[in-house]
Every structure is written in C-alpha cells, then in structure tokens.
Structure 1
Amino acid sequence: MTLPRLLTLLSDEIPSAILLRHRLHSTPEIGGAEYETCRAIRELLPVPYRSAAGTGLIARVGPSGIPSVVVRAELDALEITEETDAPFAATNGHMHACGHDVHASALLALVRAAHRMGDDLPVPLVAVFQPSEERQPSGAVALLETGELTPEQATAMVAVHVHPDLPWGSIGAEAGAVNAAADAVLIEIEGRGGHAAYPHRTRDPVLALSHLVVAVHGLVGRHIDPLHGATITVGAVHAGSAENVIPSTAQARLTIRAMDESDQEELRAAVRKTAVHVAEAFGCTAELTFVKSEPVLVNDPALALRTQELAAGAGFTVSPPWRSCGGDDFAHYGAHAPSLMAFVGLNGAPGFIHAGLHDRRFLPPDATVAAVARAQALCYVAAITPAAGRPAAGTSV
C-alpha cells in the first residue's frame, strides 16, 4: 500500500512545488553556481540536509544507518537565452531548457510527502539535488569520488527525466542501455596564416577544418553497425577575425555518442585518425583533446520490470520501447548501485508547444511537476518491491 498512500500525500504538495518550479525557472543558474537554487529548495525541506558536490544537497527521509533508495534530480540550467511567453521566463541569459526545474521541484514534493508518511515509510528515501549535470566537472562524479553517498547505503538509485518525444501520460522504463556514452572533443588545426589575396603562400586551417567537418560526419556510417545507435555532431567552429586574412589556427568542437562502449572507442580512434590526416593533406597539423563526459546509461533490468509492472498504479501507461543518444551523468551511478532512469512523456501535454530539449522555446506545462513527482514515487516503490519472484534491486538472495 506504499504507492497509493504516497501518491495521496503527494497531491497535497503539488501546488507549492509548482510555485517552486516558477521560482527556479525564473532564476536559472549554471553548473557549479546553483546557490539561489539550493537556497530555494532548503527553505522548503522538512528534514535535515547537508551540502553535496559543492552546490548540491542531500536530504534523507527516514532513519540513518540502514539501507536506502536514492532519488536524484538535477539543479543546473543551460547557457541559453529563453524565448518563451511564460510569465516566469528567465531573463539572465540562462535557461532551464532540459526540465531540471521540473525534476527538482517534483523531488521536493516527494520528500515532503515521504516525510508525512512517518514510520509508514518502508525504506528511507534519500533525495539528491545534484549540481552540474550539464557541464564538466560532473556533479555525479564529484558525489561518487568524495564518498558523499556512501553513508546512505543505497540499494538502488533512480531518476526521472521529461522527454518531448514520448506521449503525455506515458513513462519509459526500458531495461539496458537507454542513453549513450558521450565525449566532448576539441580539434585545433594549426596552419600558416597570411593575406587572402595570396592563399598559395599559406597553409589554410579554415579550408582543412571545412573538409574535416564534412569528413567526421561520415564516420559513423562506415565504422559502426547500422543496427547500433551512434552519432557525431560538430556543434561549434571558430576561426579568423576578418574576411581578407587567412588565420593561422581554426577550431572545432564536437560530440561523439554511442550506445555501446566499444563503438564509442572505435569512433574516438576514427575521429583522431581522420583529423590528423585531413589536416596533413592541407599542410596543417591537428591536435585533439578528448573529454569523456558520460558512459552508457544502463537501466537495471529488475528495476525496469518492476517500474513497468507498477506504472498503472501511478496513472501511467508504459511507452513503446524507446532509447536515445542523449547523454546524462546519471550513468555514473550505475557503478555504485542498481540504477534506473525513467522518462515521462510530454508530447500532447495540455499547453505544451512541442520543442526539443535544449531548445530556447522548451517549456513543459506546470502539470508536468505532478507527473514527474508521481513517476519518482513510482520508481522509489519499484526499488523496494520484488517482482515476478525476483528480489528487489540490491538485496541478497
């Protein structure tokens, strides 16, 4: 009876959680600077808390010293200028364009509802309000490397993320790989600059970089099995300062993503080889810097199954099988405990103007706060509920 009781208490907390969502959305802060975001959450927490990863929070509902289930939400925003008509739209050049304001507000509501259950809460719930999901250094890595989660004795770690590609009213809880490994790559091309009227006297890094941008976009199709998920995207190029000057350097920033770690390694090697040889063909040199941001995010099969089995009790249908080449630092928690990231659909939500994640028009409706909070409650209960003769995640047999 834990889930029905928790959902009943949760409904009372949604109005204040929506107000918190407006506050967080209107004053977004980027990773490592979530000071006011934490302050707003601390003011509403009904239980003791402690700082985590610098600008994050950990709050435990239930007694200490015994195993718990961890529910994680992100705090940071993106460096995007918002273009929505919301009365609580941000105006500081940052934006919650990935739903983190919704996730954090929903988790605050869940903490308050779980606290009201008192001794009826069967397993302690630990809320992790995590900083720096969108940028490096990762908040998840910081929490794990410092051992700040060790005292919580987590038997499972769960999280919920909104997604505009899934139907409203559905939850995605697929077993296995659901998000890709993600690397950030900086490629710097060194040439020899000069006057635009005498290109034959230069070694043009812009020309080399232009060919390289085209070349790397063809690597996935010739290195990775077409039935596997992988992508390479060049997101930024920088070179020069005037139309009549050939610069001496040019840069590109790109992301490599794959649903399999061996495919990711194959693409790293291919990008490096291609960059070196394309640059060489134009008389230039290439230097590459790789930042391995996230591993593949793999959902625990038992947690996924139980979430699907219990979904109707929280008012959800189970979405069709769904995976994404998105990356999330929640993937790091899978090495700490059985983990699950579930996705709540936005497509068709009342008032939702369809826009993708990280789009300056992305704005989940306020009703999403309740949907995410219910999904977080569902995942918590799934983590403590055996299914089909299997033990709960993290328990011994």
Structure 2
Amino acid sequence: MTEHAEIWAALDRHLPDALELRRAIHREPDLSGDESMTREVVLAALPSATSVVKVAETGAVVRIGPSGPAIGIRGELDALPVAEATGVPWASVRPEAMHACGHDVHLAAVIAVARALTESEPPAPLLVVLQPREETYPSGARDIVDHGVLGTEQCAAMIGAHVQPLLSAGQVACTPGGVNASSDEFEIIVHGASGHAAYPHLTSDALLAMSEIVVACQSIVSRSVDPMSSAVVGVSSISAGSAANVIAGRARATGTIRALTPRTRTLLHERITEIAEFIARAHSCTATVTITHGEPVLENDPQLVREIAGQLRHRGLRVTDDLRSLGADDFSYFSERLPSTMLFVGTEGSERLHSPGFLPTDDDVRRTAQALLCGYLGALSHAAPAEVPT
C-alpha cells in the first residue's frame, strides 16, 4: 500500500469543496492590511483547531493536533490593487482588487491539506499560518515571526507553495539555497548650487552629478559582483530642475537592489553609497544615500529540499531544482529563522503574475495542494525543531 495512502485519498475527497471556496475567496478579495473578512472565511473553513492565535492585525496561526513540534504551511490572505479582466462568473466584485498573484489558490490548497490531515490523524501537528500583507510593507510574515507565536507553537519547519507561470503544468521547482532575492530600495539626493545656465562656472550642477551617478551604478553588478552571483541595481526614477535656463541645485533618484546572497546584498549597499558620495564630491556637490531594507534572501533548507523532492517525485510530479528568481517574497522572514522550503508550482496557460488576466485552473489548485502535502510529509523526517527567537 502506498505510504500515507489514506491522507492522499482524503485530499482527493476534500478538493471539490476547496475549489468552491477558492471561487468565493476570488470573488471577494481583500487588499493588504484589510484581510479580516478573508481570514474569517478561511478560519470557518478549517477543521476544528487546538488553538487559534490572531496575529499581525489581520492574520492568524492555527494549530491542528496535539502539543509538540509542528509543521507549518503558509497561506497568504491579501489580493492586489488590480482591475480583473478574466471574464469568469466568479470574477472579483471589487473593481480595483483581484487575486492576481494566486493567493486564492494557495489558501484553497492549504484548506484541502488541513482537512485531509485532520481526517487521517496527522503524523505530526500542523500549523496553518494565515499571513496578511504579503504584497506590501510592513511585511505580515515579519510581524508573525516577531510576535513569537512560531516559537510558542514549536514550529519545526515552514512550507510554502506559490503558483508560477514560468513553469509548465505538472512541474514543481524544489531548489536548495537562495531562490528569491533580498529586496531593498534606495534614495539618492544630490545637493549642489543652483544658478543661471549662462554662468555654469558659478554653480554646482546637481543634475550632472546625478547623471554620472546613475550611469556608474549600472556598472556595479558587472564590475563589483562575482559573475557567478545574481544581482540587480536599477535606478527607476530621477527628478531635478524646474526651468530650461536654471541649473539644478538638487536632484533625486530612487531605485531597487536585489541580491541572492547576504554578502552580495551588503556589497551593493556599500558600492551605491561610495559611488554617489565620491561622484558628487567630484562635482563640488554632496550626496546622501538612504537604503530601506526589505525582505531578506529566501533560502530553502537543503535537507528539507531533498526530502520534499522525493515526495514530489513519488506523486508523479516533475521536479526541477534550478528555478531561482530575483523577485522577492516575504516567506524569507520564515526561512531566516527556521528550516523552510518554498515550492513553485507550474500553471496551465495562465498569464504572468500580477496581470489582470491571471487565472490558474482547478488543476493548478490540485497540484498546489499536492505540493504542500509533499512538503508537510517531507518535513516529518527533518531534524528536531530549531529554536525560534521570540
């Protein structure tokens, strides 16, 4: 008899109800920070819980099973401020809100797995982590970690699954190490001395200095980062000046910093600051650099990955171990504190993430639930739970 056959059979039985719930969640999405209604819908759909701890304002952590080390699975509650264009009967009834990132799929999969495990007497307790504010700051995952509930509930490992249209249907990425980048933002302000454009020698041109800073920043990745490492430094906005015949005395630029290792992340911060300050000085200007830290690198635990990959293959899913992205996900706050794995599940004929037409299929819900259950089962043989700082 197939190992854990009763759990897999229970999952198949609970998937139809989970699909209906997915449609209900999709029809009435909640934006980041306003997820209370979605949270209550999901809590009502979950099986009887040992405990429910409401955290991060609109989130919750639900224990299913007795005390002792538990395996956590995450479902994100929030939708995006996107006007839906799918045309399905269960499209969003809210004009400027849509589950365009698959969070409705993830929630339905979490519910199906929780019900299946409860019906079959789970081999280890389950923690259902209902996370708000995945799409905005401040991060809901960070707030949950900082709350200390994962330590209190003895979370031994965290499992996440995310639909990914870059993969084909039936394919699941289970990749060790860094799979999503750290994500930071920077602001550079250059101060010079304004004046009439006919007398440039009496000014310190902040716009000219900023222009050279922007160009120099584009060389950071190619000349300062190890070619075997992945990183992005991108200047996304620049503003200066107000008149054609006035040299700007102030210029401002903003941009993004992405890296797949903490070491590269630190290096990028240092180089942006050095370049801005020294180029500004060369133009008799000054520069201030402000870096806003976002999510850390999302690191998949190698031992967990090996165990989960075996489970995925046993279920007939095609496993790849080389999908990495400089996109970011605040699941990384979980992986920063305890053994974790984020799985990426290929979708059928769906548009890109965050687009108005993004609409995973029912089969995508089924495969996401299968991936989460494989993650749970793979984590059972993991080492004793790591200490989670409270």
Normalised by the size of structure 2, how large is the TM-score? 0.86
Q: After the TM superposition, which of the residue ranges 142-151 and 123-132 deviates more from structure 2?
A: 142-151
Name 2:69's counterpart in structure 1: 67
Q: How does 1:39-54 map to 2 (within 5 A)?
A: 39-48=40-49, 49-54=52-57
Name 2:169's counterpart in structure 1: 168
Distance 1:83 1:276 in 2: 46
CA contact (8 A) 2:165 2:350 kept: no
Cα shift at 1:5 = 2.2
2:103 equivalent to 1:103:
no
Give the 3 Å change call, closer, same or farther, for CA 236–28 of structure 1 in structure 2. farther
Q: After the TM superposition, which of the residue ranges 305-314 and 327-336 deviates more from structure 2?
A: 327-336
Q: How does 1:305-316 map to 2 (within 5 A)?
A: 305-316=306-317
Give the 3 Å change call, closer, same or farther, for CA 178–211 of structure 1 in structure 2. same
Name 2:334's counterpart in structure 1: 333
2:371 equivalent to 1:375:
yes
Name 1:146's counterpart in structure 2: 147
Give the 3 Å change call, closer, same or farther, for CA 108–279 of structure 1 in structure 2. farther
Name 2:96's counterpart in structure 1: 93
Distance 1:198 1:27 in 2: 61
Name 1:213's counterpart in structure 2: 214
Cα shift at 1:372 = 0.8
Distance 1:179 1:93 in 2: 28
Give the 3 Å change call, closer, same or farther, for CA 306–280 of structure 1 in structure 2. same
Name 1:31's counterpart in structure 2: 32
Q: Deviations over 1:304-353 (max 9, x none)?
A: 1111111133331112522222222222223432211111112xx1x424
Give the 3 Å change call, closer, same or farther, for CA 381–279 of structure 1 in structure 2. same
Cα shift at 1:147 = 0.8
Distance 1:199 1:40 in 2: 64
Q: Deviations over 1:47-96 (max 9, x none)?
A: 23231211111112111x21111111222233444444444146543443
Name 2:229's counterpart in structure 1: 228
- Count of residue pairs brought into register by the alignment: 382
Distance 1:83 1:195 in 2: 51
Distance 2:287 2:247 in 1: 17
Amino acid paired to 2:11:
L
Amino acid paired to 1:233:
G
Distance 2:365 2:383 in 1: 27
CA contact (8 A) 1:182 1:258 kept: yes
SS of equivalent residue, structure 1 residue 329: coil
Distance 1:66 1:35 in 2: 29
Normalised by the size of structure 1, how large is the TM-score? 0.85
Amino acid paired to 1:107:
V
Q: Deviations over 1:69-127 (max 9, x none)?
A: 1111222233444444444146543443322222122112222222222xx31101111
Amino acid paired to 1:352:
S
2:129 equivalent to 1:128:
yes
Q: Percent identity?
A: 39
Amino acid paired to 1:383:
A
Cα shift at 1:255 = 1.8
2:78 equivalent to 1:76:
yes
Q: How does 1:227-376 map to 2 (within 5 A)?
A: 227-238=228-239, 249-346=250-347, 349=348, 351-353=349-351, 355=352, 357-376=353-372
Cα shift at 1:29 = 3.3
CA contact (8 A) 2:259 2:326 kept: yes
CA contact (8 A) 1:314 1:375 kept: no
Give the 3 Å change call, closer, same or farther, for CA 84–275 of structure 1 in structure 2. farther
Distance 1:178 1:382 in 2: 19
> Among 40, 58, 61, which residue is 2:61 paired with?
58
Name 1:177's counterpart in structure 2: 178
Distance 1:251 1:352 in 2: 38
Distance 1:361 1:213 in 2: 35
SS of equivalent residue, structure 1 residue 166: coil
CA contact (8 A) 2:299 2:336 kept: no
CA contact (8 A) 1:184 1:256 kept: yes
Cα shift at 1:169 = 0.3
Q: Which runs of 5+ in 2 are unaligned?
A: none
Distance 1:360 1:167 in 2: 20
Give the 3 Å change call, closer, same or farther, for CA 71–283 of structure 1 in structure 2. same
Cα shift at 1:360 = 4.2
Amino acid paired to 2:383:
A
Distance 2:363 2:323 in 1: 23
Cα shift at 1:272 = 1.1
Cα shift at 1:195 = 7.7
SS of equivalent residue, structure 1 residue 18: helix
